[in-house]
Structure 1
Amino acid sequence: MHRGPSSPVPVLTAEERQLLSALVRRRQTPRGLATRAKIILLSADQPTATLSQIAAQVGLSDDTVGTWRRRFAAERVAGLSDAPKSGAPRTIQEADVERVVRLTLDTLPADATHWSTRSMAQTSGMTQSAVHRIWRAFGLRPHLISSFKLSTDPLLIEKVRDIVGLYLAPPDRALVLCVDEKPQIQALERGSATFPMLPGQEERTGHEYVRHGTTTLIAALDARVGNLIGRCYPRHRAVEFKDFLVIVHAQVPAELEVHVILDNYITHKTKVVQDWVLAHPRFHFHFTPTGGSWLNLVESWFALLSRRRLKRGNFKSKDELEQAIQAFIAQTNETPAPFVWTRSADDILDNIKRFCKRYLPAPSAPQNSQASSESLH
């Protein structure tokens, strides 16, 4: 298709590219706005592409792509917003919106750790509903916080590639098992009355309970099939872990190699355990990176156990708790479902790299060229 002056190829500044890329990546961006931002980015990155080629990549018509390119050429990023709707004129101007966003991102209230719609409304002079709409439009949620742990393991790259490789391309004639402990599972007897769920009302229970001891579950998950080997122990020392390995050894066919994925808990590296592994050469340990237990898929099964059986369970003894756990394991094995790993090692490492570039300070440059040269060798 001929591309004339009515549909100019956009040339982006660094700031425009950064803003458009953020709109495309952010989950809270309205779909229409994200698609328009993608049109401009694709057009700038593929200056020789026709409107038809760009349209095919975003699933729109040639005319629609041309319209948004013209709007961008005339008004830049602001032109990608929806046109004003009919009705009463706007009472909140762009400057007001920008002020609320900047206050939210760059400041904190004097008497709290984060903004609320009420405190922001008082500071900005707007209504709570207006603040709420602005926050929702820009994906701002000051009341939420998420945690992270960046691994400092010097062998991070090698371990990620090793474990992900076992998930995505397991060796022939081998079994890959994800092994870990879930310690200190409490047998709690709910002493308070429970009121059942009713239409419009969730189940209600009191906060009183009686403790009847704790147990530790050691489990080995065959993620490719979804089967599980599990055993409860009163403690989780090297002796118990070795005993569990003996159980696994007895249940896995002798002709199969056993690749065990596990974390860096000290019990897994004791001399007792290492001597046992040396005496059973078909067992191979693969340790997750320090602070990288999320690579172990048995953690996902532990989450299912907690959510479906333990969190609201009522147990009058430790034996009753352990029976419930074994019953849940049996149920898992009756109808196993694979735990599918989908992310490649490159994807994970690229994500870590982007995080470091965005949030961590860049390393200081060497003081002179000689130091730089020596560091490369």
Structure 2
Amino acid sequence: MWRPSSTRTPRQKKLIADAYTLGASLGLEVWCEDEAGPFQAVPHPGESWQPEGHPARQPHEYVRGGTAKVLTLFRPADGHVRVEGTTTCPNTVLHPWLKRELSAILADLPDPPPTVDRSRAAWERWQAGLIQPITLPAELPPLRVLLVLDNLAGHKTPALVLWLFAHGIMPLFTPVSGSWLNIAESIQRVLKRRALAGEYPTNPAEIISRFESVAKHWNASPTPFVWGGKRAARRKAQRERRHAVGGSGAFTRQPIRRRSYGHVRGK
């Protein structure tokens, strides 16, 4: 009988932290998934370039131009991000996109070495200590990917979770009120700031285009994110060279460059 996992336990936080810090050493890819938005097609606060003496002005009419959401897959180890914009995000949109992107990720992975752990224990390790672990199928392929997702009903449908198992992907659901454990939250804040700060998109298509363009530019020179906890990391960051990023407990070893705005002096 199908039984979803219970995430009302501190153990799930430890499992997700272990995924970020130990996943690579175990030969596993670690990806994070999240949906950002909705973002309105209205003026967004933020800095913008303006000629000296000509400040930015907002329209006096308040017109809602629609909303857009951004589907995000993020690999903290190297900073690579996959995004796709949409105006709605039901399961009929999210699940096909997620399967398509994860299939492409798996296709790019090298064949697992002969020494890889193919046992059932490799899967059960990522459910140890949960009050109600997910019911694993009788037959399982080698575990290849750990996928961190928010604790939403749409992420736990039997059809989706069984598809993940069949393709060697172990889902790790964040606890209730534990979205800070999902590092995708951090990259979404970076992309949002770069795509919308100080801008006035007039329709959802423009919002989607901005996010996808910013993501393409980010992937040209991505910044890896390293898991840094939340409370202890704040104190440790004072002793080490760390740069916190908003949205989760992640940090970077080097600061993320922000857009700089020049000023054109009037003649």
TM-score (norm 2): 0.62
Q: Provide Cα deviations, 1:300-342, integer angstroms capped at 9, x if missing partner.
A: 1111122222232222332222111110110111010011222
Please provide the CA RMSD for this pair.
2.9
Counterpart of 2:89, as a letter, is: H
Structure 2's unaligned 5+ residue stretches are 1-5, 113-143, 234-267
Partner of 2:40: 186
Q: Quick one: structure 1 residues 212 and 285, their matched pair in 2 at CA, closer, same or farther if it must change by over 3 Å?
A: same
Partner of 1:307: 193
SS of structure 2 residue aligned to 1:243: helix
Q: Is the 8 A contact 1:197 1:203 kept in 2?
A: no
Matched, 1:270 2:122: no
Counterpart of 1:336, as a letter, is: P
Q: Quick one: structure 1 residues 205 and 258, their matched pair in 2 at CA, closer, same or farther if it must change by over 3 Å?
A: same
Q: How far apart in 2 are the matches of 1:313 and 1:202?
A: 14
Matched, 1:174 2:28: yes
Q: Quick one: structure 1 residues 211 and 169, their matched pair in 2 at CA, closer, same or farther if it must change by over 3 Å?
A: same
**Mapping of 1:18-33 within 5 angstroms?**
none
Higher Cα Rg, which structure: 1
Partner of 2:104: 251
SS of structure 2 residue aligned to 1:210: coil
Q: Is the 8 A contact 2:31 2:74 kept in 1?
A: yes
Structure 1's unaligned 5+ residue stretches are 1-151, 349-377
Partner of 1:284: 170
| Farther-moved stretch of structure 1 (207-216 vs 160-169) | 207-216
Q: CA deviation at 1:203?
A: 4.6
Counterpart of 1:270, as a letter, is: T
Q: Is the 8 A contact 2:148 2:172 kept in 1?
A: yes
| Farther-moved stretch of structure 1 (202-211 vs 286-295) | 202-211
Q: CA deviation at 1:242?
A: 1.3
State which of 56, 67, 72 in structure 2 corresponds to 1:219. 72
**Mapping of 1:1-377 within 5 angstroms?**
154-156=8-10, 158-171=11-24, 172-188=26-42, 196=50, 198=52, 203-206=56-59, 208-252=61-105, 253-254=108-109, 255=111, 257-280=144-167, 282-343=168-229, 347=232
Q: Quick one: structure 1 residues 188 and 272, their matched pair in 2 at CA, closer, same or farther if it must change by over 3 Å?
A: farther
Q: How far apart in 2 are the matches of 1:294 and 1:195?
A: 32
TM-score (norm 1): 0.45
Indicate the structure whose relative CO is greater, using CA pairs within 8 Å and at least 6 residues apart.
Answer: 2
Identity across the alignment (%): 26
SS of structure 2 residue aligned to 1:205: coil
SS of structure 1 residue aligned to 2:163: helix
Q: CA deviation at 1:197?
A: 6.3
